[in-house]
Chains A and B, each alone.
Chain A
């Protein structure tokens, strides 16, 4: 056996292992990325529909209603930005932007404590 034979066999084995490892890494990264994006959308929806339900509840009760609720800083583990106008709320995180219809409101949602009141119309903060 020649001296170089060890090196050749070593690199052959190393190459095969690297190729298998790279394929494994690529596939699992793709699956995990897809799952992460689904989780991001799910987290935004949990937050957005929760806020929508708060406003709809306020819209269906009598005047004099008041309630304080908290909007978290992150949606699950995902950071997001939030904006609203008189009849919709938009949440944006990474590539996902989702808009939720709301009954007519005045005021702006903020991260943290929010107070909804109803005296004729619905006011947020």
Chain B
């Protein structure tokens, strides 16, 4: 017998069916919106990665930028990968690096060699991933130049018909020592170092190499007793705020005038004594990082002499931390992961830069 329907009474079946239809429509709408936004998000992440990789494959601005002066980062110098610029990139904090790489997402940059092992040019890498690192010290390839004979014999200098001088100077670290004041050696050294400095080497000049070397005027002056206050952040063997007392008289020491060569940028006097008795300075010459140390054998506050301390400090400079790095992988919550690589030649080997970008939901 059919149930008798009252006016306005809703069937339970109608209600359930309409509710089901409404929920299906809602879920469908949510799914379409979510998937559409997800696809656009991947494209955004990918395009940003392409842009950042392109920036890093150029010279950047300023041309010989440092971690404090960088406006647009780039790792190339004279069409080659610059070790100095890679080191400077590692000195930029992650938030600023994200901004200047024009990224809005998470990122990680690291280098590998032809065996796909991580090469710790940037430590293990820079960005938003922490990688396990086993400490390891490595010596940079280094050469010491003390005389023009050393220069010509070690560097296979050749001259073409236009008197252009060429060398095969390819080390990462060059120590220039002694007195290189003869015009011939000064000119050759200036030319060779100028060429070599295009590819990111580190030069350390110890002593009194002569006037107008690597863009700086070096003078000599008589000095008497004085004391030196080390600047904060001094790099070479002295503790911050350490007092150095030089207790000799009539010393002939070097001083540094402000640079006049356009190739010199980012000039900083790290330590300067009263009347310039002992000087450290650092500057960028073309694309080379140059450290300059000049003093005589003054006496430190603890009674020891400066020169052995300087020798140890210089010796320590070409030992760098190149840890053994674990694998880099974005976190499990990463979505829209983009993986971009660029390969560079560096000292006759291939290095691959990896740029990971991802968005976390």
Contacts and interface: CB of A to CB of B under 8 A. Distances in A.
B71 A1 contact: no
Contacts of B10: 6, 9-10, 13
Contacts of B22: 17, 20
Contact of A102 (B6, B23, B71): B71
A56 B340 CA distance: 26
B30 interface: yes
A64 to B, nearest CB: 19
B104 interface: yes
A41 B104 contact: yes
Interface string A65-107: 0000000000000000000000000000000000001110000
A28 B71 CA distance: 39
A16 B19 CA distance: 9
Given A1-B9, A35-B37, A20 B26 contact: yes
Nearest to A27: B30
Given A9-B10, A13-B10, A13-B15, A52 B104 contact: no
Q: How large is the interface on A (under 10, 10 to 19, 20 to 34, 35 or more residues)?
A: 20 to 34
A42 interface: yes
A59 B65 CA distance: 14
Contact of B104 (A5, A28, A42): A42
Given A6-B9, A16-B19, A52-B72, A60 B33 contact: no
A52 B71 CA distance: 9
B61 interface: yes
Given A17-B22, A45-B104, A31 B61 contact: no
Interface-central residue, B8, B19, B34, by most chain A CB under 10 Å: B8
A28 B33 contact: yes
Contact of A20 (B23, B33, B100): B23
Interface string A12-54: 0100110010001001100100010010011001000100100
A77 B317 CA distance: 54
A57 B196 CA distance: 27
Contacts of A56: 61, 71-72
A31 B33 contact: yes
Contact of A49 (B6, B8, B62, B102): B102
Nearest to B37: A35
B116 to A, nearest CB: 33
Given A13-B10, A42-B104, A52-B72, 10 more contacts: A5-B6, A5-B9, A6-B9, A6-B10, A9-B9, A13-B19, A24-B26, A45-B102, A56-B71, A59-B61
Interface of A: 1, 5-6, 9-10, 13, 16-17, 20, 24, 27-28, 31, 35, 38, 41-42, 45, 49, 52, 56, 59-60, 101-103
Interface of B: 6-10, 15, 18-19, 22-23, 26, 29-30, 33-34, 37, 44, 61-63, 71-72, 100, 102, 104
